[in-house]
């Protein structure tokens, strides 16, 4: 009886209380490698390395609650023969966008901001936006007309704001460059408070809501998070997303982790070389471990391990919660992952809030299913969530520009679905 009173009764009471608690999501991933899948990926990754198209990479894949692939290939630093390991860190560039979008939607849930709010409520310089009508390449001068209306939070989340990227548009590249507005990040002693205010005075590519233009919209959203929350974007991410989900290997500037950062490479004249110190037009190979470390780009600034990014995707896949830690309501995730594009399309696909949605019309046989959510980063990293197959895939390499990236991604994805299906 003493045994029952001391151990079993308390245990039964605890189990009863636990069973009555509202359950978020109890899933955590067990490691159960799929050797057939790993062998298929070996063929793809090793051929890329042997062809000199990447130095190395890391892949994490889960299905049905199990981590079926968590493997590194090649080198973190090819020149010094340092092998790639799964805990190594990658510059994830535009994979940052989904996290910034989630932060904005948290503030929408709290009714701190509204999707229909005009942007000038948070960044006054965006009041009375102008649309570019002509540009003189010789002098750099341009003419504008008044935009049809204000940019809203919805426009920013769907990249229909009219705000472009400089590195994909020569005209805006010159306009932004002369104004001191960076694309992917900065090692200078500047902040997004300063640069987004400057951006607000520059012209748009088109009227807000008119069409899709990939650009600095999510960087602007990062500044909205700062204004609405009263804290830096880095601090907001840490408190409201990273810490609740137990993500410890992700951040804008990770002190003490320089040795874990993968070397950045580039394809020059079809040859894999170390990313050049000068003349890249974007960042230096030392980003983000050198410089002022004050620029928190909500569109491209984070560094992460594959495992931590997989954790974030798990929370999205499971309706906003992972391991009983909720970062978004289920209804908010539904909104985030539904078509917010209307009749617009992106290569036949749709766009939610921060995520592309694969449509039935645009999907390809032997690849991800309709309703899959995806995006990628400039340094050849990518991800997708396939709800139909209960599948999450994260691939990280570290190269810009890459050679025959579409061919690589196609082979990589088909190798997975040949096993999965």
Q: Determine which helix (DSSP H) or strand (DSSP E) holds 246, and give its type and residue range.
A: none
- Model pLDDT, residue 303: 97
Lowest-pLDDT range, 19-23, 46-50, 398-402?
19-23
Nearest alpha-carbon partner for 302 in 59, 90, 156, 103: 90
Per-residue H/E/C for 329-342: CHHHHHHHCCCCCC
**Scanning the structure block, which residue is given the tokens 């990479």?**
57
Please, which residues have CB within 8 angstroms of residue 20's CB and are 6 or more apart in sequence? Answer: none
Q: What confidence score (pLDDT) does residue 19 get?
A: 35
pLDDT per residue as tens digits for the range 150-184? 999 999 999 999 999 998 899 999 999 999 999 88
Q: Tell me: pLDDT of 140 over 60.
A: yes
List pLDDT tens digits, range 56-109: 999 999 999 999 999 999 999 999 999 999 999 999 999 999 999 999 999 999
Does residue 310 carry a pLDDT above 60? Answer: yes
Distances from the Cα of 80 to the Cαs of 14, 55, 99, 274, 341, in angstroms?
54, 12, 33, 12, 47
Q: Sorting pLDDT into bands at 50, 70 and 90, what band is 281?
A: low
Q: Looking at beta carbons, which pairs linking 75-82 to residues 24 or more positions away fall under 8 Å?
A: 75/263, 76/262, 76/263, 77/262, 77/263, 78/263, 78/265, 78/272, 79/263, 79/274
Which residue, chain included where needed, has tokens 């959510």?
373
**Quick one: pLDDT at residue 315?**
97
pLDDT of residue 346: 95
What pLDDT is attached to residue 13? 34
Question: Which of the four pLDDT bands, split at 50, 70 and 90, describes residue 290?
Answer: confident
Question: How many other CB atoms are there within 10 angstroms of residue 365's CB atom?
Answer: 6
Other Cβ atoms closer than 10 A to 154: 17
pLDDT at 15: 35
Residue 10 has pLDDT above 60, yes or no: no
For helices 405-420 and 35-50, the axis angle rounded to 10 degrees is 170
State the pLDDT confidence band at 27, using cuts at 50, 70 and 90.
low
Q: Residue 20: is its pLDDT beyond 80?
A: no
Q: Is the per-residue pLDDT at 6 higher than 50?
A: no
- Percent of the chain's residues with pLDDT above 70: 92
Least confident of 30-34, 48-52, 274-278, 306-310: 274-278
pLDDT value of position 18: 33
Q: What is the pLDDT of residues 235-271, one digit of tens each?
A: 999 999 999 999 999 999 988 888 999 999 999 999 9
Taken in order 146, 149, 153, 155, the sign of the CA dihedral is: negative
Q: What is the DSSP letter of 349?
A: B
pLDDT in the model for residue 279:
53
CATH architecture group of domain 30-96+234-420: 3-Layer(aba) Sandwich (3.40)
Q: For residue 7, what pLDDT is reported?
A: 40
Say whether pLDDT at 373 is over 50. Answer: yes
Superfamily for domain range 99-229: DD-peptidase/beta-lactamase superfamily (3.40.710.10)
Domain spans of the chain?
A: 30-96+234-420, 99-229
> Are the folds of 30-96+234-420 and 99-229 the same?
yes
Q: How far from 237 is each of 38, 142, 149, 304, 314, CA to CA, in Å?
A: 33, 38, 31, 13, 17
List of long-range contacts for 136-144, beta carbons under 8 Å, 24+ apart: 137/171, 137/174, 140/174, 140/175, 140/178, 142/175, 142/203, 144/203
């Amino acid at each position: 009886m003493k045994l029952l009173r001391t151990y079993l009764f308390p245990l039964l009471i605890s189990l009863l209380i636990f069973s009555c608690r509202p359950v978020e999501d109890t899933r955590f991933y067990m490691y159960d490698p799929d050797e057939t899948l790993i062998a298929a990926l070996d063929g793809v990754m090793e051929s890329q390395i042997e062809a000199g198209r990447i130095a190395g990479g890391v892949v994490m894949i889960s299905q049905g609650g199990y981590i079926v692939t968590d493997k590194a290939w090649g080198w973190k630093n090819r020149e010094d023969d340092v092998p790639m390991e799964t805990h190594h860190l990658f510059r994830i560039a535009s994979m940052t966008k989904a996290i910034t979008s989630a932060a904005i939607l948290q503030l929408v849930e709290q009714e701190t901001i509204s999707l229909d709010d005009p942007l000038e409520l948070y960044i006054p310089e965006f009041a009375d936006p102008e649309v570019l009508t002509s540009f003189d390449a010789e002098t750099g001068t341009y003419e504008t007309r008044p935009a049809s209306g204000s940019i809203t939070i919805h426009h920013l989340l769907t990249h229909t704001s009219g705000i472009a990227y400089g590195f994909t548009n020569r005209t805006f590249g010159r306009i932004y460059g002369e104004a001191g507005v960076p694309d992917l990040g900065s090692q200078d002693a500047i902040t997004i408070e300063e640069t987004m205010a400057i951006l607000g005075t520059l012209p748009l590519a088109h009227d807000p809501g008119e069409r899709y233009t990939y650009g600095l919209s999510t960087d602007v959203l990062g500044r909205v998070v700062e204004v609405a929350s009263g804290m830096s974007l880095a601090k907001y991410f840490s408190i409201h997303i990273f810490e609740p989900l137990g993500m410890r290997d992700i951040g804008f500037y990770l002190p003490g982790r320089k040795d874990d950062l993968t070397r950045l490479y580039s394809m020059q004249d079809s040859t894999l070389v170390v990313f050049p110190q000068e003349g890249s037009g974007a960042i230096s190979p030392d980003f983000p471990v050198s410089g002022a470390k004050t620029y928190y780009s909500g569109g491209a600034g984070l560094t992460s391990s594959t495992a931590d990014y997989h954790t974030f995707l798990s929370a999205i896949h499971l309706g906003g919660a992972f391991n009983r830690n909720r970062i978004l309501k289920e209804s908010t995730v539904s909104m985030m992952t539904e078509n917010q594009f209307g009749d617009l399309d992106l290569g036949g696909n749709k766009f939610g809030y921060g995520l592309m949605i694969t449509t039935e019309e645009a999907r390809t046989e032997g690849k991800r299913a309709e309703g899959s959510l995806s995006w990628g980063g400039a340094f050849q990293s990518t991800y997708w969530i396939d709800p139909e197959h209960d599948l999450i895939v994260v691939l990280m390499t570290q190269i810009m520009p890459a050679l025959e990236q579409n061919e690589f991604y196609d082979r990589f994805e088909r190798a997975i679905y040949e096993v999965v299906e």
